[in-house]
Chains A and B, each alone.
Chain A
Amino acid sequence: MTVTSPLVRLSGVHKRYGGVQALRDASLTAAGGEVHGLLGPNGSGKSTLGKVLAGSVRPDAAEIVLAGESVRIGSPRAAARLGVAAVYQQLSLVPDLSVGQNLVLGSEPGRLGFLSDRAAARRVAPVLERLTPALGDVRFDDAVRDLAPGQQQLVEIGKALLREPRVLILDEATASLHRDQVALVFDIVRELREGGAAILFVSHRLDEITELCDRATILRSGVTVAETSVPDTTPDEIVRLMVGDVQQVEREHRDAAGGPVRLRVRGLAGGALHGVDLDARGGEIVGLGGLQGQGQSELLLALFGAIAAAGDVEVDGEPVRLASPRSAARRGIALVPGDRGTQGTLPARPIQENLAIASIAGRARVGVLSTRREREAAQSMVDALAIKIGSLADPISSLSGGNAQKVVFGKWLLTEPSVVLLDDPTKGVDVGAKAEIYRIVRGLAEQGATVVINSSEDRELVTVCDRVLVLFEGAVRATLVGDEITEERLVQAALRIGEGTQGAATGEDAA
């Protein structure tokens, strides 16, 4: 694969989401006839970089050269016109439309605005036929809603193929596929490579990368740190490139909490969870690691009674009914959810009400609130957590991400919880607020609470956790304790678990 003139060249790509710099001068070069891997730990910006090329993320700055010409890609439609197609793990199919209608969606054949089903059927026939070995008996007229997740993913891939792309981006597009389905996709990718297309392959699975990719670009914290020839690099070297020189992360070395078990979980299953066991002591901070989307958020939501799950959960020896967040909260469980805007805060309501809402009934007398007690309770949290606000009467939507998140913490601290569940608590908050949130988390543990924390950043787990459970496909597959918790070990554990077990728990029967 000699790189003469690259088909795709991205350089100087910057993208900031609120307080978070997702991409910082990232770059990528891929030739025609090449499968190019895009690698990096959670949150390194690899998906964002792919989306810049696919036109679905507008960068703050970027230079994009396609086949020698400088181009601007302002929308997915513009990308399609330039021959760039993308497939993501999140599907873009319309469940109520048929397979055929989905395949031609956005480029429906017809005349004078009237659709022609016959022309559409003719157009999609070759693609459907190509996918048949893995797709099974799926017809043009079948509703997408009735297909298994793996089959839907294949239709999504077919939709991209129909556009005969010069550049195809596959972003975790094989995650929900069976082994034989993956094999077919790999065959198709290799055919496209022979045809001179460039394929950008984003995956968490090291074995897929080494099997398929010619070259790879490695990202870390939004920066391109290496470009490497995959056949000439060992998996260990790839992991080292992803993690970087191990910087000493400041870890709070504490004596292992020796108290009794506060939170006991046995066989928690349902949805994305496949039997989770967990024991955590008072004062202990337990992290949930692994690739993103392996059931970490679902585990926290299930423990809080917010999604349906079955299993035995005890707090301080007392069984907890997993019926509703309300019954969980009564047992002293608190959840700082993953989406602050829609799950954590009441955006239009005043800061005081946002702080009060979870503990309000305890301060009321026969349902009536005392203005003074309400104000004092809210003010006590503003002071204790150093929340920067104008007035308690201002809507919470006027606060920065970090301060809004502190309000969500304060809301639960007022309930004096014994188990605190944190779902990616520092997402979208700046560095300063992050450090303060870590301090709050440690304070909770010192007061005897059990903390369970999921994070999209491995570094965060290294910083705050006494123990990390590495999840894969809804179950705990590895545990790191104390000094074992390093970024390198976390990445290794997350990537290695996936090898050889691909498709084990997903596929047709999951529909």
Chain B
Amino acid sequence: MSRVVPILKDPVVVAALIAVLLIAIGGILRPGFASPDQIVDMLRVASFLGIIAIGQTIVVLSGGEGIDLSVGTVATLGAILASRTMAGDDAMIVPGVLLALGVAALIGLANGLGIVALKIPPFVMTLGMLGVVGGLILVVTGGRADGRAAPALVSLVNGRDVLGLPGILIVWLVLGGAVTLVLRRTVFGARLYAIGTSREAARLSGVPVRRVTVSAYVLSSLFAALGGIAMVGYSQQVFLNLADDLTLPSIAAVVIGGTLVAGGVGGYLGSAVGAIVLTVLTSLLTTLAMPEWARIVVQGVVLIALLAVYGRQRRLRA
């Protein structure tokens, strides 16, 4: 008992158990829901959210009420820029991705500078940026989304080319592993946790607080754009609001994964599991043919319930 209980208090373990439980329930209610094919499919959908949640995790860890409300529209803009550049041509994948990442980096830079130089609270700054990027999308597209994903990108997401799995899952795994290493094994990671825990103590330890903060928001926009590009590989056609709805789930995934909203404690593994929980929950509720309003209510209730459980325990996880 004494050895089991501490593990059960780890939010990552709790979230993972919930994911497994949801799949099991789905399998009982609707045979086929828990089939390997169906699970791979759900993971594939979870990967877009999971990649966007990488940046959101970094921003939340940076503390100072860190949050990025612009990730959804930045992902959409990234998808639009990339897919218009590709226009269905494999040769244009690299320029398309680079263009999307470049623009995203500028957006993240603007977010970061607004927060550290103009002292605008992250919530307000990124909310404003959400509007600005929405406007940019209209300017770029003239209100007409006509980008098409290149075939190679489509098969990366929709094919089963790598050991029978979609390549995007491997991409997600690599990105997730890389960010985990960055958080745990680099100067940047140590400084990110430091500023998230106490900006004042970090500053008085010689940490370049402003530079680390700006970097966090740049990374957030970069991963948002990558998530958007993956998503357009899935849908093949781009839409004007393709990834807009992923902002709140990306925050929810971070929170479900046990990262402290105040910053400084947590990690990406939890957020990845959180993304899976949210995706499985949505699939399950859809499979059960629940009306949309009921799905939204259930998702909200699950989030609040988890936070209530986590709120009772404030342990350190590095």
Residues of A within 8 A of B (CB): 304, 306, 324-326, 328-330, 335, 337, 342-350, 353, 356-358, 360-361, 364, 367-369, 371, 393, 395, 411, 415
Whether the Cβ atoms of A345 and B201 lie closer than 8 Å is yes
Complex Cα–Cα for A411 and B205 (A): 8
State A364–B191 Cα separation when bound (angstroms). Answer: 13
Q: How far is the CB of A322 from chain B (nearest CB, A)?
A: 14
On whether A306 and B188 interact (CB within 8 A), knowing A346-B198, A348-B197, A395-B316, the answer reads: no
Partner of A350, one of B191, B201, B318: B318
Give 8 closest A-B pairs by Cβ, nearest first: A329-B206, A346-B197, A358-B205, A395-B316, A326-B206, A357-B205, A364-B187, A367-B187
Task: State how many angstroms separate the Cβ of A381 from the closest Cβ of chain B.
Answer: 14
A348 with B190, Cβ < 8 A, contacts A325-B206, A342-B198, A357-B207 known: no
Q: How many A-B residue pairs have CB under 8 A?
A: 84
**A360 touching B197 by the CB < 8 A rule?**
no
Closest to B198 in A: A346
Q: Which residues of B are found within 8 Å of A324, using beta-carbon distances? A: 203
Decide: A342 near B190, CB < 8 A? Known: A348-B264, A368-B185: no
Residues of B within 8 A of A369 (CB): 185-187, 190
B258-283: CB near A (< 8 Å → 1, else 0) gives 00100011000000000000000000
Q: Are the CB atoms of B185 and A371 closer together than 8 Å?
A: yes
Contact A358 B206 (CB under 8 A): yes
Query: In the complex, are the beta carbons of A349 and B186 less than 8 A apart?
Result: no
B300 within 8 A of A: no
B193 near A: Cβ within 8 Å?
yes
Greatest chain B CB density within 10 A among A345, A350, A360, A411 is at A360
A152 to B107, CA, bound (A): 45
Provide a sorted-by-A list of 28 A–B residue pairs whose CB atoms are within 8 angstroms: A304-B204, A306-B204, A324-B203, A326-B207, A329-B206, A337-B204, A342-B198, A342-B200, A345-B198, A346-B193, A347-B197, A347-B198, A348-B264, A349-B193, A349-B194, A349-B316, A350-B316, A350-B318, A353-B193, A353-B318, A356-B190, A357-B191, A358-B206, A360-B190, A361-B187, A364-B187, A367-B188, A393-B318
B interface size (C-beta, 8 A): 24
Residues of A within 8 Å of B188, CB to CB, are 367
B285 within 8 A of A: no
Q: Is B145 an interface residue (CB 8 A)?
A: no
Q: B27 at interface (Cβ–Cβ under 8 A)? A: no
In the bound assembly, the distance between CA atoms of A326 and B208 in angstroms comes to 7
Contact call A349/B197, Cβ cutoff below 8 A: yes
Residues in A with CB closer than 8 Å to B207 are: 326, 357
- A395–B197 alpha-carbon span in the complex (Å): 12
Q: Contact check, A346 vs B204: say whether CB atoms are below 8 A apart.
A: no
Q: Smallest CB-CB separation from B260: which chain A residue?
A: A348
Residue B240 at the chain A interface, CB threshold 8 Å: no
Closest to A369 in B: B185
Determine the chain A residues whose CB is within 8 A of the CB of B205 once the complex forms: 325, 329, 357-358, 411
| B142 CB to nearest A CB, Å | 42
A329 / chain B contacts, CB cutoff of 8 Å: 205-206
B202: interface (CB < 8 Å) = yes
CA distance A386 to B200 in the complex (A): 27
Minimum distance in angstroms from B197 CB to a CB of chain A? 4
Known A-B contacts A326-B208, A350-B316, A369-B185; the reply to A306 vs B197 at CB < 8 A is: no
Mask, B145-168, CB within 8 Å of A = 1, is 000000000000000000000000
* Alpha-carbon distance A326/B211, docked complex (angstroms): 12
Q: Which interface residue of A326, A348, A361 has the most chain B CB atoms within 10 A?
A: A348
| B contact residues around A343 at 8 Å (CB) | 198, 200-201, 204
Q: Give chain A residues whose Cβ lies under 8 Å from the Cβ of B202.
A: 346, 357
Using Cβ atoms and an 8 Å threshold, which residues of chain B touch A356? 190
Task: List the A residue with the shortest CB-CB distance to B207.
Answer: A357
**Once the chains are docked, how many angstroms separate the CA of A337 from the CA of B186?**
26
Contact A357 B190 (CB under 8 A): yes
- Do the beta carbons of B187 and A360 come within 8 Å of each other? yes
* Closest chain A CB from B151 CB (angstroms): 37
Knowing A356-B190, A357-B191, A360-B190 are in contact, say whether A349-B264 is a contact too (CB < 8 A).
Answer: yes
Q: In whole angstroms, what is the CA distance A393 to B317 when docked? A: 10
B window 272-318: CB within 8 A of A: 316, 318
Chain B residues with Cβ below 8 Å from A325 are: 203-206
In the complex, the answer to whether B198 meets A353 with C-beta atoms within 8 Å is: no
**CB-defined contacts of B198 to chain A, threshold 8 Å:** 342-343, 345-347
Q: Name the residue of chain A whose CB is nearest to the CB of B262.
A: A348
Alpha-carbon distance A27/B153, docked complex (angstroms): 81
Do the beta carbons of A344 and B201 come within 8 Å of each other? yes
Cα–Cα distance between A261 and B316 once the two chains are bound (Å):
45
- Structural contact, B316 and A348, CB atoms closer than 8 A: yes
The CA of A399 and the CA of B160, in the complex, are separated in Å by 52
Taking CB atoms, residues of chain B closer than 8 Å to A345 are 198, 201
